[in-house]
């Protein structure tokens, strides 16, 4: 059976996950040390890394198998939507 994700999409998922985890860790460390300039600057550079890896992931998912896209549509259609109420005065 063929994999639903391409190797590039898998690398993109790993990159986004690692970059986001690193960014969270760096942000918490920055706050715990009362925002030293070097850590604050590194946190800003980390945001560029998260953004770039997100772009890479979006690009690589463009070439994912159609079965993945269909399965995501099924998952989205199974999630219940909360009822909307309109308040009338």
Q: SS3 helix, strand, coil % of the chain, rounded to 5?
A: 70, 0, 30
Q: What's the CA gap between 23 and 16, in Å, rounded?
A: 10
13-37 pLDDT, tens digit each: 999 999 999 999 999 999 999 999 9
pTM for this structure? 0.71
pLDDT of residue 82: 64
**Contact indicator for 22, 30 with CB cutoff of 8 Å:** no
User: Which residue do the tokens 């159609």 mark?
Assistant: 66
**Contact indicator for 15, 53 with CB cutoff of 8 Å:** yes
31-84 pLDDT, tens digit each: 999 999 999 999 999 999 999 999 999 999 887 777 777 777 766 666 666 666
């Amino acid at each position: 059976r063929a994999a639903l994700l391409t190797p590039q999409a898998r690398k993109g998922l790993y990159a986004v996950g690692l970059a986001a985890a690193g960014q969270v860790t760096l942000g918490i460390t920055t706050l715990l040390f009362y925002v030293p300039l070097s850590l604050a600057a590194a946190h800003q550079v980390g945001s560029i890394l998260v953004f770039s890896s997100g772009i890479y992931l979006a690009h690589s998912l463009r070439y994912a198998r159609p079965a993945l896209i269909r399965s995501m549509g099924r998952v989205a259609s199974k999630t219940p939507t909360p009822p909307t109420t309109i308040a009338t005065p």
